[in-house]
Structure 1
């Protein structure tokens, strides 16, 4: 009883305090809690949720193609007391995808098109003192007049960012386009002096009011100006700031700009907003790259998508902060906010940490040739610019990404030329609009690698900076073509600043390879790829900036590949765990001492031919030291030079736990890293094997290692060798019509999350042998029919594949183990379905030295096997 009374007293105190003081100026109250959500407007089957929220966090990861794109309804009860009377009240949405209608007490109060910019609904005329009903309809259905139309990322639905209630006096700084109404520029900045100009708009009566702006260094005033208002507009230039503390990537010093709306008669503060101020100047140069405060600075960082494993786009605010911190930790100084404006905390954190940024609207892959589409794009661009105008970290406004990637009307060339003309017209309109809105920043278009097409359409000459999304050595070509492309373009356009707006290679953290090849999704190939690219970027001064694609893995529901629905190009996993590619950039970019052992921590291999108590494999250490000394199980094995931020050692691993220590001297101080590697040592001669826990997991038709969800390590197959194990006959499966990968398929395998076990296979297989000693063994055969008549349209970024189709093959075969039938007239597709997991398990007792012999006898078509496991159960 006492606790309830105490709570009531506290609430009363808060209400009185809130009424007396909070509404003197602008207030913001979170509305994130206690919403009812349903896909039915009646909300009869609603669930109680808190914001941020998306309805797609689960269906984007299932095996069923597609995800829910349609309407969703949010309902909330909002109770207002008398202190809200005579206030201007707004519902402020930080993000809802993609079409939103807001209803207050049954009246439509506002709407918004676009899923990534913020928007504000004026609500006071519909609200009443007492209980109010708020209903919000959000619809992420395809709409040809709202970009993006298509893209290699998932269009999550819902109110996936926070919502708040903003109150002001009736006379206040305008919230038009969901900006705060005050815009700060720095017309002249130098080491000796800096000028600050402030402009803005006022809503409400401008009689008897004035604007006071104060520039603060902490609590100290360094400049101040007062001005009157004319026709709802104000502008003033503050006194010059002498010897300003400049903002830079190494020293991101921030002043603050406090702008107040004052009643001249009473002196009361009617409204107040505070903006960050970073005093810096910058320029892009076609020959010499980027300059900040007069000093050359190579911009290297990442692009970033906003979703997170298990959450989708509905991420808590602190997740945004952490992502920018991870870029800074990596040594990055640049962020391409792609392909859409993101949570306000992203640029706030860039300001604070010293990360320069490019921001863009989501015109991706294609446009609609309609006035409605054009107007939506223009409105998005204005919203993006005005909402983020005051961030010193922002240096580029962009507005198109790979818009010629898969152009429409490919079978009607005259019509296609007309389409290209509309794209150019839209680009020119957006570029002109951007330069008018903010002449202090640069404009940029990001293009894919079809240089001639962009040049012919006329897009290259429109923006102030050209961005290239280049994947030479990934989707096609070779990595050495990357540098050749840069040189060729720069030769043709020497005065045009250039940045690499995307580059990267898939790196499935579960896949490793000692023979990395294009599109095997191994960490090793991705490290090699990034090594080539970073070196080429650093060697060319005219390359002003480069953004790795991507900071973290992200959801792309339409993708298949080794991890279906995920783009694995991230330097971090979807849940933000670092890959070796992240360590590579740390070693090459950060200035602090750094040393890190590769995170390939679960391994397996066959014993060496000369020493059957160990297996030798390479181990990489990333560091910015000159030399590294490696210890294995307490014994120093070698000291090696570091090149390109890494050094690779040949390590003889023993069975079980191996303790690894890497030591380096950097600037006269000792640094080290340690790791524990668990190794499954597979005897080369199985007959002499003593392990009671012998466990062999083999991928057929593969050259890569794989760690499954149960943390078992799978090794590539080998041809059978007497005394050992391996396949007999057959050949590696290669998907017909696939020019990207040298083996296997990239199609989604149904009923598993361990797709790489089933995406490779041996075809025309005759047999498999394990020359094991006597004992009882469990044998598991893994099958998946990889041919299918089901056609899957290749995604736009796969330029060398219009479709993924290979005619289904009928296979009927017998499987015998030690001459005893296991599977008779076995048809994988008939039993399990195409592209679907099939597993057959049996127990085999070996009583002699003949081991285990598995025979595949074709009845019709070609026998196949995707993977095999042997596990010793007992002697």
Structure 2
């Protein structure tokens, strides 16, 4: 093989192991996502594998926690893992600089090349770049091993320390090789090395200023030309500037004031017009391009005002949107770019113009899409809940803040740099108040230092801290006073209090700090997409309660001009491994599910925020209920439609119901549903054009006269001790809340709903994780002290399933920090032993759910039986120790 052919072959080998490749003059960027080896074992880079290193092939992005965060075993793997990859490099690169560029790895990373440590990085959410060329073997055909250790272990000197989200481990974003000449734009903070400011922007003129850093390692003093060109969307040049520099073996700073751009096309949320700024390093003697980078440019100006809110390009604009976490169902946080793009498209489709990137910098694609779609953004580092009073913690915080700013400096969408979130939520030293005051003083000191760093790095944007709702404590510590903006994370009517307290809090802030611009940086209520209720109440996790909650908050925000921005918590459901509740390990406050299916609350926001005609029927299309009366053939239940119009027409099964006026983005009808399929059509008319939404509702209608119902498809699923429905779409089942027994029908006899002792949130059931099931709501409620359960069904063959779970336990678990009013007392496990008979036949004898299945563990007992003589089904519970319980029951005619 000739030398040139061998070189071409080596270059081809590199490319087939790369995910993608991009070229500019003077610089190559080559993707390294494919074909990595991964191990949780120990490994010595550059040597033969040790016995414990068991490798598996993976592609990036990758997280090792995508499965263990969702299982029923508490905790998830937090520790050291290894990635390695062999590459063949181009021998021409020997005279260049070769870097490996990570978009994100959580949270301590070290890079080794051919056994040599090339560099390391601390922090799981900012990008980093490490030079590796000095360790590469450039001989033709030589294999170079890149080994990367990544460790997501707890480290008291690295934020975040604690948080209501999962600290996934892995190289969970893209990795690239960057090959450039020895003279190049500075890569030390994984930025482009070029920073764009717009000192003056108006409707008539715009002034653009460029600052940058160049690294040059040439032994010969070079004369360089810095050429900057601004192109519009049609690639037409609108301004350019050239300056000369000279130097060698040094770092050079440069600044350029470009010619004024007349009549600029302004960037706005409705018209996110982007220019492109191309900056080149050119050899002044030869004219060769040595390095080149491109950055987006949006010409806009903005301000926050304590009385009037936010202004963009001189016009008032209420910032409305959401916060966003970066994980996805089944993927952990290892998302391909297309997933990030889709999230931002969903946010824009909601009518939003604001994103709080929380609680950490996210994939570069997020802000790129904000620029393109017209979404203004706040970005923050992950100082969450608490700090460590150490020099190392402070240094890491400062470094994260600088990295975040420099890496994202040129995005026109960014208007806020933030650096703390609810940092007084978990105060240390609660039993030592003098020491706690020192701790608070150190928090304020760190906040002041981060604020100063931020203003020095970028004096043109605003600084912010997001606080939880303890107004007096944040005021006393000084965290309201330090930043330019204050964000409040408020949950009145959810974790405590009532929804009316939300508006009261906003007014209190404005009264005491009238000049301090205010943002509502979090608000929301859990909405399990499987739970519905005709009697919604706080903490029942129903979509109905969440919709009402958000209506109150949206109205209060809309009515107050001084509320500059609001970001609902959260755009999507996200993983929080320590959470239990109806969907364990998931925070259900998202407007979208973890796999991005819209909930009713998403439709509500579209009704509030969209400027184009919108209509959407509530997505409750699997239902069950009992006929309205003995002679009725329908069950009347409410159905909601969301729209931004004033009046809606509704037709059900071809019959038009009276038109409804819309209030707070919603109109509700009492609909007479028939058995089986119901066609529901909603219509609005705007400027003579009709907009419609159609939904088919499948209704399991049970006769009130059950004894005379000869339906061969009789199927009853009941939650005892509950006021909510549970919809299991996978099995196409809907579970109804229970009822007292009525002659001719079905229901319980005796007992009362289970309620957690000392609980100030839920009036019934438990919020604990139920083991051995993914259908926790079936087992989280129960009837305690039940005497009988009866079904007055006609003769026939039936399958009966009794569902049990012991909900009391001696185990204690720390409540989520937010549950400030949820003073759950230490529980005592109840001892229960009882007999169960069905139609006087013994089914369960000396039965104890706790002994049979374990506490907080789902179990079921299935019985097949034949009913004769018109006697129906009577299940009797005889207590032997304690009280008998039943969590749920199913009956199916066979």
- Mapped to 1, the partners of 2:825 and 2:891 lie a distance apart of 33
Report the alpha carbon displacement of residue 804 of structure 1 after superposing the two structures with TM: 6.7
Please show how residues 132-281 of structure 1 align to structure 2 within 5 Å.
132-204=144-216, 205=218, 207-217=222-232, 218-229=234-245, 232-281=252-301
Q: What displacement does 1:439 show?
A: 0.6
Between the aligned partners of 1:818 and 1:23, the Cα distance in structure 2 is: 81
**Partner residue of 1:36?**
37
Of the structure 1 ranges 685-694 and 349-358, higher mean CA displacement relative to structure 2 is found in 685-694
Cα offset for 1:210?
1.7
**Matching residue within 622, 631, 655 for 2:642:** 622
CA contact (8 A) 2:223 2:245 kept: no
How far apart are residue 437 of structure 1 and its match? 0.3
- Which residue in the other structure is 1:857 paired with? 878
TM superposition shift of 1:678: 0.7
**Deviations 1:724-763 (CA, angstroms, capped at 9, x unpaired):** 1101010011011221111100000000000000000010
3-state secondary structure, aligned to 1:531: helix
Structure 2 partner of 1:68: 77
Structure 1 unaligned regions, length at least 5: none
Q: Deviations over 1:77-128 (max 9, x none)?
A: 0111222120111000000000000001111100001000000001111112
Q: In structure 1, how many angstroms separate the alpha carbons of the residues matched to 2:130 and 2:11?
A: 28
The residue matched to 1:188 in structure 2 has which SS?
A: strand
Q: Are 1:631 and 2:651 matched, yes or no? A: yes
Q: Is the 8 A contact 2:758 2:823 kept in 1?
A: no
Query: 2:833 aligned with 1:812, yes or no?
Result: yes
* Secondary structure of the corresponding residue to residue 812 of structure 2: strand
Query: Which of 737, 760, 764 is the equivalent residue of 1:739?
Result: 760
The 1:494/1:847 distance shift into structure 2, 3 A limit, reads same
What do residues 567-602 of structure 1 show as CA deviations (whole Å, max 9, x unaligned)?
Answer: 000000000000000000011111111111110110
Aligned to 1:457: 477
Match in the other structure for 2:340: 320
Partner of 1:866: 887
Q: After TM superposition, give the deviation of residue 265 of structure 1 in Å.
A: 0.4
Structure 2 equivalent of residue 541 of structure 1: 561
SS of match in other structure, 2:813: strand
Spell out the pairing of 1:357-756 with structure 2 (5 A cutoff): 357-609=377-629, 611-708=631-728, 709-756=730-777
Asked if structure 2 preserves the Cα contact closer than 8 Å seen for 1:792 and 1:805, the reply is no
After superposition, what is the alpha-carbon deviation per residue over 1:188-221, rounded to whole angstroms, capped at 9, x for unaligned?
0000100000000010147210211111113211
Distance, in Å, in 1 between the alignment partners of 2:235 and 2:741 is 77
The answer to whether the 8 A contact 2:804-2:849 is kept is yes
Give the whole-Å Cα distance in 2 for the aligned partners of 1:12 and 1:652: 67
The answer (yes or no) to whether the contact 1:23–1:168 under 8 Å persists in 2 is: no
Post-superposition offset of 1:561: 0.3
Instruction: Give 2:93's match in structure 1, choosing from 84, 108, 119.
Output: 84
Map 1:339-350 onto structure 2 (within 5 A).
339-350=359-370
Aligned-partner SS, 1:719:
coil
Structure 1 residues 400-429: Cα deviation after superposition (integer angstroms, max 9, x where no partner): 000001201101101111100110000000
Q: Distance in 1 between matches of 2:826 and 2:652?
A: 48
**Deviations 1:223-262 (Å, cap 9, x if unpaired)?**
1111233760000110110010000000000001000001
Deviations 1:493-525 (A, max 9, x none): 000000000000000000000000000000000
User: Does the Cα contact within 8 Å between 2:11 and 2:90 map onto a contact in 1?
Assistant: no
Q: Tell me by how many angstroms 1:27 deviates.
A: 1.1
Equivalence for 1:821: 842
Contact 2:630/2:703 (8 A) holds in 1: no
Q: Structure 1 residues 139, 10: CA separation in 2 closer, same or farther (over 3 Å shift)?
A: closer
Q: 1:10 to 1:423 in 2, by over 3 A?
A: closer
Alignment deviations for residues 332-374 of structure 1 (CA, whole Å, 9 cap, x no partner): 0000000000000000000000000000000000000000000
Match 1:781 to one of 783, 786, 802: 802
TM norm structure 2: 0.95
- Displacement of 1:436 in angstroms is 0.5
Per the alignment, in what secondary structure is the counterpart of residue 385 of structure 1?
helix
Q: How many residues align?
A: 865
| Counterpart Cα distance in 2 of 1:12 and 1:98 | 33
- Long gaps (5+) in structure 2: 44-48
| Offset, 1:41 | 3.1
CA contact (8 A) 2:683 2:691 kept: yes
- Provide the residue aligned with 1:27 in structure 2: 28
Residues 1:760 and 2:769 aligned together? no
Q: For 2:639 and 2:308, how far apart are their aligned partners in 1?
A: 38
RMSD: 1.8
Moved more, 798-807 or 246-255: 798-807
CA distance 1:803–1:325, shift in 2 (3 Å): same
Q: Secondary structure at the match of 1:702?
A: coil
Q: 1:839 aligns with which of 860, 875, 878?
A: 860
Q: Comparing 609-618 with 238-247, which one deviates more in the overlay?
A: 609-618
Distance across 2 between alignment mates of 1:372 and 1:228 = 40
Give the secondary-structure state (helix, strand or coil) at the position aligned to 1:750. Answer: coil
Task: Report the Cα distance in structure 2 between the residues aligned to 1:348 and 1:853, rounded to whole angstroms.
Answer: 64
User: Match of 2:290, SS?
Assistant: strand
- CA shift at 1:611, angstroms? 5.0
Distance 1:664 1:610 in 2: 36
Once residues 734 and 157 of structure 1 are traced to their aligned partners in structure 2, the CA distance between those partners, rounded to angstroms, is 38
Q: Is the 8 A contact 1:101 1:136 kept in 2?
A: yes
Cα deviation, residue 711, structure 1: 2.4
SS at match of 1:85: helix
Does the CA contact (< 8 Å) of 1:788 and 1:805 recur in 2? Answer: no
**Aligned residues of 1:302 and 1:549 also touching (Cα < 8 A):** yes
d(CA) in 2 for partners of 1:724, 1:12:
74
CA distance in 2 between partners of 1:162 and 1:13 (Å): 19
Q: Give the drift of 1:849.
A: 2.1
TM-score when scaled to structure 1? 0.97
Measured after TM superposition, the shift of residue 844 of structure 1 is: 2.3
Cα shift at 1:642: 1.3
- Decide which of 305, 308, 318 is 1:298's aligned counterpart: 318
Provide the rounded CA distance (Å) in 1 between the counterparts of 2:90 and 2:793: 81
Distance 1:23 1:577 in 2: 39
Q: Compute the displacement of 1:329 (Å).
A: 0.3
In 1, Cα distance between equivalents of 2:781 and 2:126: 43
**Structure 1 stretch displaced more, 184-193 or 128-137:** 128-137
For residues 754-775 of structure 1, the C-alpha deviation after alignment (integer angstroms, 9 at most, x for no partner) is 0000000010111111111111
Please say if residues 791 and 804 of structure 1, whose CA atoms lie closer than 8 Å, have aligned partners that are also in contact: no
Alpha-carbon distance in structure 1 between the residues aligned to 2:73 and 2:842:
36
Q: 1:12 to 1:545 in 2, by over 3 A?
A: closer
